[in-house]
Amino acid sequence: MYAIIRTGGKQYQVSAGERLRVEKLAGEVGDTVELNDVLLVAEGAEVKVGQPAVDGARVTAQIVEQGKGKKILVFKKKRRKGYRLKKGHRQLFTALEIKEISL
């Protein structure tokens, strides 16, 4: 059984027991999170597609980690003008472990 969920403006395919990194969610490590924006649920040959979400479907997950991703450097320059700008960015993330998919 698997589901397609939407969180943080992105879509993810998940199944029970899987770990995945999503955009930062509120909560502490060990907390349980319910993701209600389920776009599709498939179990064997039976597929339920929502318009846009499947009614009554939810995915239960546990927060495993809260952290920051790798640093990304942003460098801007204009030639012959002496303009140089260097910035760094680390995106916040939440690591989830999928516990259950229910309809």
Mean pLDDT of 14-39: 96
Is 14 among the domain residues? yes
Is 27 among the domain residues? yes
Is 89 among the domain residues? no
Question: Contact, 89 vs 71, CB < 8 A?
Answer: yes
Is 75 among the domain residues? no
- The terminus-to-terminus CA distance of the chain in angstroms comes to 11
Is 87 among the domain residues? no
Is 82 among the domain residues? no
Q: Please tell me what DSSP assigns to residue 53.
A: S
Q: What are 49's two structure tokens?
A: 């597609």
Amino acid at 52: P
> What is the number of structural domains in the chain?
1
Q: What pLDDT sits at residue 3?
A: 96
What residues make up the domain containing 61? 2-67+96-102
| 47-69 pLDDT tens trace | 999 999 999 999 999 999 999 99
Question: Contact, 13 vs 59, CB < 8 A?
Answer: no
Is 28 among the domain residues? yes
Question: Contact, 65 vs 33, CB < 8 A?
Answer: no
- pLDDT class of 103 with cuts at 50, 70, 90: confident
